[in-house]
Structure 1
Amino acid sequence: MKPDLQRFLTDRVDEITAEVAREVAGRVPAYTHLRPAEISNLVREAIAAYSGACEARAVLPVFRALGASEACAGHDARHFESALRTAARVLVRRTAGAAARLYPPTAEFITIMETAFTAESEIVGAAVDGHRRATRPAVARRIHPLLSNN
């Protein structure tokens, strides 16, 4: 949509990453194991979708894979989703601030924010779905021995 919005946010990716890490650590203490480089890559992907530089569906595989890897590592789905939503709030807040600075509150601003909220919903949904799908085989492996003993 607006390359200047993406550029504005991308130029501040280290600052945004640090804010995401602080917010997640403060709100979801059980979820502080991601390294800054991992968070930064995720923030870059989300910025592309939030700013409209790419369709949200273009970055969904990254977030599905994140969800799957977190499930395989044994991280609780509730903590994972809470951490995602915390990070998403930071990104929406930053996107809104950048859009308000770059564009007057007009229909264009509203369109940008609709794009950001849609991207947020799709990204969180994909990550949670990736976690859920990766968890299914583990559940099946635990249940199978119980059922086969009957």
Structure 2
Amino acid sequence: MLVLEFKVKGKPHQYAAIDEAIRTAQFVRNKALRYWIDNRGVNKYDLNKYCRVLAREYGFARELNSTARQASAERAWSAISRFFENCRKSVPGKKGYPKFKKNSRSVEYKTSGWKLLDPKHIVFTDKKNIGRLKLVGTWDLAFYSTEQIKRVRLVRRADGY
């Protein structure tokens, strides 16, 4: 797996939309974790189905792309499976019971919800109105085809996005 990082340049309303998308992804992850705690025998696919229930129930969750909601549920499931794996291996000390996130810093889009316009611009097509962002970096994305890019993650850092 190859990971490329780019800084993103945008306008203040786009940064606010990115923050809203990050908060929505955090909400979906926490609700998926709560669903797992309340219902015994829930698996990864049940959490993905629960994302659709959340989208029908909450309007702001509906605005986030469906694959971004599923990626948030997958993050919750990875925390759950890591906990069970640590229990199976009898890891000494705390096993890492999954916790609710109060300060998330990223939202991840899988194969849809974004489109690469050219090697220096990306557009997000969900209803959060992020829009077109400029990519700043030294890597040339024209070298890779769009089918090779599997996931796009927007990360909030101290020096930008």
Same fold (TM over 0.5): no
Structure number having the greater helix percentage: 1
**TM-score, normalised via structure 2 length:** 0.29
Structure number having the greater strand percentage: 2
**TM-score, normalised via structure 1 length:** 0.31
